[in-house]
Amino acid sequence: MSDIIQLLPDHVANQIAAGEVVQRPASVVKELLENAIDASATNIKLIIKEAGKTLVQVIDNGKGMSQTDARLSFERHATSKIKKAEDLFNLQTKGFRGEALASIAAIAHVDLKTKQENSELGSYIKIEGSKVISQENIGTSIGTSIAVKNLFYNIPARRNFLKSNTIETRHIVNEFQRVALAHPSISFSFYHNENEIYNLVASNLRKRIVAIFGKKTNEKLVPIKEVTDIVEINGYVAKPEFAKKKRGEQFFFVNDRFIKNAYLNHAVTSAFESLLSNGFHPTYFLYLTVPTKSIDINIHPTKTEIKFEDEKTLYAILRSTIKHSLGQYNVAPVLDFERSASFDTPYEFKNKKSTTPSINVDQNFNPFKAETQKPLNSPFKKETSAQWESLYTEIDLDKIEVKSETINPSMFSEEKQNSKTYQVHNKYIVSSIKSGIVYINQNLAHQRILYEEFLENITVKDAMSQQLLFPLEISFNKSDIELIKDIKEDLENVGFLFDKILDDTIVVKGMPVTIVESQITIIIEQLLEDIKNDIPDASFSQLDIMAKSLAKSLAIKTGSKLDLKEQEELVNKLFSCKQPDLSPFRKTTFVTINIDEIDKKFNN
């Protein structure tokens, strides 16, 4: 029998490796930004076009590479970061596997320009699908510029699995924010389709957070700091009143590397115990510095998962540190046994002698005696009053007229007799029909009603708006502001009115009549999250997602008590809908039970 095992060609092996390292354009952004940081760059520029599908380019002012290094950087497992296996447990750099550039070059067109400080000329290499097309010496600035074009051009199936430009851009923004937050001392700029999204100057951590997430963030932050033999913790958590329903603004960094860790996230959440409303999540930016030998970051190709040597101790330290900081800054109630200066004796009374207050008592005062004149030596003033016996007089109850209201026995029964609906457990509305009984889920039914109303308002007619007495300012990060600008017209068609939209703030002056002012921030945040996660390319689909999100946020909740009029109105509106049997999210709104089914229950 002939041999069947064979070595894969290099270009095929690179494409397989690319499947692990490069999942989407954001993966390329992460690898290139980290390479620039490893090159000691102090200024890094990110340029993308068409959500990175057409172009991802990173330009830095780092050390650059020699001609030989530039060519070797595209070979598999070629790296300057490690030389022996022991180095894997003492890593100080970002990229160390030597797979990133080789994987990227296997599935894209790559142009690399690089130059070292002491070199007169730099190197220019052009690669397409792992093949070196050209390599030459050119004049270029110190540092490295690498442009990745036409990602997945030779793997159409992978390209087809990419999401819409909005979703892919969101992933790129997330990666950019993570890298920028981990390195506040480096200047970063970010351009998408020639529009500047971020321009971050070198600063400290607090200023970097504010620059990314908006000026209003500054007042929300509570500093966290703790130094132990096991870990050093720095960073900030947001005050509980600024918690959000979305999980987006939660960042863990270990040795300046962004990580995801559900166990440590639980430590933070438990520190906020009893301070957050149900369904809300704390915002935090936490930086852990641990000995490199106590962690293993080589357990996942994307290097976002880390294995800790003593995770339970880290959990306890992190939780107690956050609880202490929340109490120290009067965010959470604590027992404070330190002496307060407010209890100290004022300076002007420090040497004064205390005096006993004098008390004057009127020995002749008798409350049960008619008083016509108050004694001269009495310090009290008492008005002349009638004899105390006059306070108690006999009242003839027969002479008192009381206006009574006749209670009609039918007052309570008539409404129930004429009622066509009943509410069960504040969740279902039950109504009789000719063939039997219908059970309506009030929340899902109201979602369907609002969904069709919003969709009609957006696409056909103008919605009713109510003016706010005082305009409401809401803070968002820059990427959310860009999305709000894109959907501004659609939001206005729903009923929102905007006074102005700034770089990190929107000013709302009007809202749909169906909502209350306290819901505005929550609804807009939820809407943005739904759009970023679910929006396809088609513009109508964007409107559809908006209508669904608003309907879900504003629908009558399970547990809400409805009076008979509200029940009947809900039923009538539901069966006036174009598709009353399904909610916007394809869930059944009502079920019917016919008489035959009921009869069978009693005939068994």
More confident residue, 19 or 38: 38
Locus of tokens 């690898």: 31
CA dist., res. 355 & res. 304, Å (int): 72
pLDDT of residue 520: 85
On whether both 106 and 218 belong to a single domain, the answer is: no
Express each pLDDT in 267-292 by its tens digit.
998 888 878 877 788 899 999 998 87
How far from chain centre, in Å, is Cα 369?
74
Q: What is the mean pLDDT of the chain?
A: 79
- Could you report the per-residue pLDDT of 79-107, keeping only the tens digit for each? 655 555 554 555 556 654 457 788 888 88
d(CA 563, CA 549): 26
Structure tokens at 120: 């007169």
∠ CA 379-384-385, nearest 5°, is: 130
Determine, yes or no, domain membership for 227.
yes
pLDDT score of 396 more than 80: no
Residues 187 and 55 occupy one common structural domain: yes
User: 125 pLDDT exceeds 90?
Assistant: yes
Pick the closest to residue 562 from 377, 430, 460 (CA basis): 430
pLDDT at 83: 52
User: Sheet containing 55-60: which strands, arranged edge to edge?
Assistant: 131-138, 122-128, 109-115, 143-149, 55-60, 43-49, 187-192, 195-200
State which of 250-264, 296-310, 327-341, 524-538 shows the largest mean pLDDT.
250-264
Q: What is the pLDDT of residue 537?
A: 45
Q: What pairs with residue 268 in β-bridges?
A: none
> Are residues 223 and 150 both part of a single domain?
no
Task: Tell me the C-alpha distance between 588 and 477, whole Å.
Answer: 37
Examine residue 504 and state whether it is found in any structural domain, yes or no.
yes
The verdict on residue 97 lying in a domain is yes
Q: Are residues 309 and 441 in the same domain?
A: no
Answer whether 252's CB lies under 8 Å from 308's CB: no
Let me know if residue 405 belongs to a domain.
Answer: no
Helix (H) or strand (E) holding 506: strand 505-512
Q: Find out whether 113 and 143 touch, Cβ atoms under 8 Å.
A: no
Co-location of 143 and 216 in the same domain: no
pLDDT value for 189: 95
For residue 350, being part of any structural domain is answered with no
| pLDDT tens digit sequence for 398-435 | 555 555 544 444 433 344 445 578 888 889 999 887 78
d(CA 71, CA 161): 31
209, with CB counted inside 10 A (0-12, 13-18, 19+), is buried
- Band (539; pLDDT cuts 50, 70, 90): very low
Which one of 200, 228, 252 terminates a domain? 200
Q: Are residues 288 and 161 in the same domain?
A: no
Residue 321: pLDDT band (50, 70, 90) is: very high
Expressed as residue numbers, the domain containing 193 is 10-200
Q: Residue 104 domain-assigned?
A: yes
> Which residues, other chains included, contact 535 with Cβ-Cβ below 8 Å and sequence gap of 6+?
164, 166, 167, 541, 542, 545
What pLDDT is recorded for position 410? 42
pLDDT for residue 416: 43
pLDDT value of position 555: 87
C-alpha–C-alpha distance, residues 78 and 65, integer Å: 14
Q: Give the CATH number for residue 475.
A: 3.30.1370.100
Residue with tokens 């009923």: 495
pLDDT of amino acid 38: 87
Pairing of strands 232-238, 122-128: unpaired
> What is d(CA 429, CA 589) in angstroms, rounded to the nearest whole number?
11
Q: Is the domain of 455 the same as that of 527?
A: yes
Q: Rg of the Cα trace of the chain? A: 36
Say if residues 225 and 231 touch (Cβ distance below 8 Å).
no
Looking at residues 193-200, what average pLDDT do you find?
A: 90
The DSSP call for residue 510 is E
Strands 284-289 and 232-238: antiparallel
Q: How confident is the model at residue 479 (pLDDT cuts 50, 70, 90)?
A: confident
Highest mean pLDDT among 123-137, 237-251, 343-357: 123-137
> Each residue of 357-387: pLDDT tens digit?
777 777 777 777 665 555 555 554 555 555 5
Inter-axis angle of helices 478-494 and 520-534, nearest 10: 110
- 431, 543: one domain: yes
Three-class SS of residue 7? coil
pLDDT of residue 441: 92
Residue 424 CA to residue 68 CA, distance in Å, equals 77
Place 109 in a pLDDT band, splitting at 50, 70 and 90.
Answer: very high
Give the three-state DSSP class for 234: strand
Is pLDDT above 60 for 240?
yes
Range with the poorest average pLDDT among 143-152, 174-183, 205-214, 467-476: 467-476
Express as a percent the part of the chain with pLDDT over 90. Answer: 24
Greatest alpha-carbon pair distance for the chain in Å reads 133
- 237 and 146 share one domain: no
Listed residues 295, 328, 361: the one ending a domain: 328
Least-confidence region, from 55-64, 95-104, 106-115, 204-213: 95-104
Rounded CA gap, 4 and 593, in Å? 63
The answer as to whether 517 is a domain residue is yes
CATH of the domain at 246: 3.30.230.10
- Asked whether residue 131 falls in the same domain as residue 258, the answer is no
Q: Of the residues 271, 295, 328, which one is the last residue of a structural domain? A: 328
Length of the chain: 604
Q: What distance in Å separates the CA atoms of residue 365 and residue 268, rounded to the nearest whole number?
A: 68
**Are 135 and 188 part of one and the same domain?**
yes
Note whether 20 and 128 are same-domain residues: yes
User: For residue 462, what is the DSSP state?
Assistant: P
